[in-house]
Amino acid sequence: MFTSKESQFRVEKLRAQVDDLRYRYHVLNDPQVTDAMYDGLMDELRKIEKEHPELVTPNSPTQRVAGKPSEKFEKVTHTVPQWSFNDAFNEEDMVDWEERIMKVLEKESGSRPKDLDYVCELKIDGLHMVLTYENGNLKIAATRGDGKVGENVTTNIKTILSVPLQVKSLKSKVQSHLVVEGEVWMDKEMLKKINVIRAKQGEDLFANPRNAAAGTIRQLDPAIVAERKLVLTSYDISSDNAPETQEQELQMLKDLGFKTDTHWKVCKNLKEIFEFHKHWQKNKTSQDFWIDGVVIKVNQKKYQNALGFTGKAPRWAIAYKFPAEQGATKVKEVIWGVGRTGAITPVAVMDPVKLAGTTVTHATLHNWDEIERLGVKVGDTVVVEKAGDIIPKIIRVLDKMRTGEEKTIREPKNCPICKSPVERKQTLDSRLQTIDDERGSKVQSPKSKVQTVALFCTNKNCYAQQLRRIIHFAGKSAFDIKGLGKKIVEHLVKEGLIENAADIFRLTKGDLDPLERFAEKSATNLVDAISAAKKVTFARFINALGIPRVGEETAIKLFNL
């Protein structure tokens, strides 16, 4: 038995040794000891901490999996806005992007920079994560959420062994506040093992590693998260003493003890970018993680700062995606859905086909003109395309596969829900063209005003429209009312408790208590959530109104006029 002083000395030494071995194994991929030796050191550390609980610290290796399962994840506001990248799908898009940024820089300084180069990184298809460190210690780990507010998943992230609980010291003093961004992913082999277990238990299988990582991080029990051995690869850091280039930033992350992808490359021009992209498109299956493209960033921070951001994305970076995956399948039927504006949209129901890691059974046909353009019929064999999170769409019909038994799709004359007459409206074409704004940013603008290709239900009180308007109003991009999802809204509308968005704020606990779906606690929680949602930003309020072509970003611009 150690004395208290001896125990403290031994604990500190064990923690340093265990953390160094963790770093070498899970970050550098350079294991120094056997698993049995590592486990032995951990067992000794646990034993001493059990005997001397006053020596336990939040960042001890023994505390990575600690505590009881959570009941829910709390919301957390990001100190650094979380942007998404604009996408490029071909070389022409990349040429356009470079021309836009050069125009902005030329406008800022009077000439185009000759020393500008780029850092190309693999775009890991995982779950975006934001880590906040205070005085070198991990304080909060949060999901991206809507870019402003995410969910606090710190307890689960601490189980990931590639995440340092305490950053390594540099020659210069570590800043008191660091924000590190990265991607959480699951090894392909681990996904296979988990799906075998889920299949035996009769559970739905994870479609791809990204879904598996997201589903795992949202587990309420950190012990389950630890078992699935997730990995976090970091690629961005915000600090007081920012590096001068993107490549220096990646080195800084590595020096602080974070796992970074080693395949990044500095490219001097578009030709080198295209070669890098083609190489990884060809070799995208060679890694343990899934890759869905390449992220290109302006290397020099001074040019990043000059380029700035649009409403949703940095001008100085772009995601150059790999070509969409395609597959052939058969159209079984076409169903018609009604949106909150009354637009009636055709959706093809198809035989299952695997695309981009998911099983696809539905594809949008957009509108009636698209059906006529494709010449698609029920029973046709068609080529379907899907890229990442983009909604699957039918590209073309394989005419040679026809048997003569295909059925022509009929244009509906009545709303499929309320049976009211259908009409076409004069409005802007839904197909957009890309133009440059005054700062050289790519924006989309309607090509011309033409007879709409969409069909509309003429009944403003149509049940489907009514339902969609309320769901939109309560949704994450609007009032964000917790617990008021699609099924609950449907239930409340059917019970006659709400007919429009305003009725939501008239609901009382007494209205909800008699309903089948509501226990006393859930009724109280929903009423409390409705009350809390009354405090909403101007942009979210305008977005909640559902004005055509006026979303949150446009609302912000209106507010700033």
Q: What is the 3-state secondary structure (H, E, C) of 191-250?
A: HHHHHHHHHHCCCCCCCCHHHHHHHHHCCCCHHHHHHCCCEEEEEEEECCCCCCEHHHHH
**531: how many CB neighbours lie within 10 A of its CB?**
11
Q: Is 418 annotated as a binding residue?
A: yes
Q: Is 36 annotated as a binding residue?
A: yes
Q: Is 118 annotated as a binding residue?
A: no
Going by their DSSP bridges, the two strands 149-151 and 422-428 should be labelled as unpaired
Amino acid at 416: P
Q: Quick one: what percent of the chain has pLDDT higher than 90? A: 47
Q: Is 350 annotated as a binding residue?
A: no
- Which contiguous run of DSSP H or E holds residue 7? helix 4-22
Find the mean pLDDT for residues 147-174: 83
Q: Which two tokens stand for residue 136?
A: 């070198």
Q: Is 321 annotated as a binding residue?
A: yes
pLDDT of residue 440: 40
pLDDT of residue 553: 66
The answer on pLDDT for 87 being more than 60 is: yes
CATH fourth-level superfamily of 325-401? Nucleic acid-binding proteins (2.40.50.140)
Most confident residue range from 245-249, 543-547, 548-552: 245-249
Q: Looking up tokens 């208590």, which residue turns up?
A: 513
The answer on pLDDT for 469 being more than 60 is: yes
DSSP-assigned letters across all residues of 284-307: GGGSSS-EEEEEEEESBHHHHHHH
The residue among 385 and 51 whose pLDDT is bigger is 385
- Residues 64/165, Cβ–Cβ less than 8 Å: yes
**169: how many CB neighbours lie within 10 A of its CB?**
12
- What is the spatial distance between Cα 546 and Cα 286, in angstroms, rounded to a whole number? 45
Across the chain, mean pLDDT equals 85
The residue among 46 and 88 whose pLDDT is bigger is 88
The answer on pLDDT for 61 being more than 70 is: yes
- Find the catalytic residue in 13, 50, 123, 482: 123
Compute the C-alpha angle 29/33/34, nearest 5°: 100
Q: Quick one: what percent of the chain has pLDDT higher than 70? A: 88
Find the mean pLDDT for residues 239-267: 92
pLDDT of residue 9: 77
pLDDT of residue 106: 94
pTM above 0.95, yes or no: no
**355: how many CB neighbours lie within 10 A of its CB?**
19
pLDDT of residue 369: 86
Extents of the domains making up the chain = 4-63, 87-321, 325-401, 463-559
pLDDT of residue 285: 85
Q: Is 328 annotated as a binding residue?
A: no
- What is the spatial distance between Cα 512 and Cα 524, in angstroms, rounded to a whole number? 9
CA distances from 318 to 309, 315, 329, 374, 392 (A): 12, 8, 32, 32, 22
- Which of the four pLDDT bands, split at 50, 70 and 90, describes residue 412? very high
The answer on pLDDT for 31 being more than 80 is: no
- What is the spatial distance between Cα 62 and Cα 42, in angstroms, rounded to a whole number? 7
The answer on pLDDT for 133 being more than 50 is: yes
pLDDT of residue 443: 41
Q: Answer yes or no: CATH 3.40.50.150 is held by domain 87-321.
A: no
Find the mean pLDDT for residues 413-417: 95
Q: Is 267 annotated as a binding residue?
A: no
Q: Which two tokens stand for residue 485?
A: 């999802």
Q: Is 415 annotated as a binding residue?
A: yes
- Which of the four pLDDT bands, split at 50, 70 and 90, describes residue 43? confident
Beta-bridged to residue 309, according to DSSP, are 314
The answer on pLDDT for 441 being more than 50 is: no
**192: how many CB neighbours lie within 10 A of its CB?**
10
Q: Can you name the CATH fold of 463-559?
A: DNA polymerase; domain 1 (1.10.150)
Beta-bridged to residue 183, according to DSSP, are 128, 233
- Residues 100/440, Cβ–Cβ less than 8 Å: yes
Find the mean pLDDT for residues 267-280: 97
In CATH, the architecture of 4-63 is: Orthogonal Bundle (1.10)
CA distances from 105 to 102, 108, 228, 311, 326 (A): 5, 5, 46, 19, 38
Phi first, then psi, for residue 53 (nearest 5°) are: -60, -20
- Residues 348/334, Cβ–Cβ less than 8 Å: yes
Is 123 an active-site residue? yes
| Listed range (207-221, 236-250, 314-328) with the worst mean pLDDT | 207-221
Find the mean pLDDT for residues 57-76: 70
Find the mean pLDDT for residues 51-68: 72
| Listed range (25-39, 324-338, 538-552) with the worst mean pLDDT | 25-39
The answer on pLDDT for 171 being more than 70 is: no
Q: Is 38 annotated as a binding residue?
A: yes
pLDDT of residue 552: 67
pLDDT of residue 434: 40
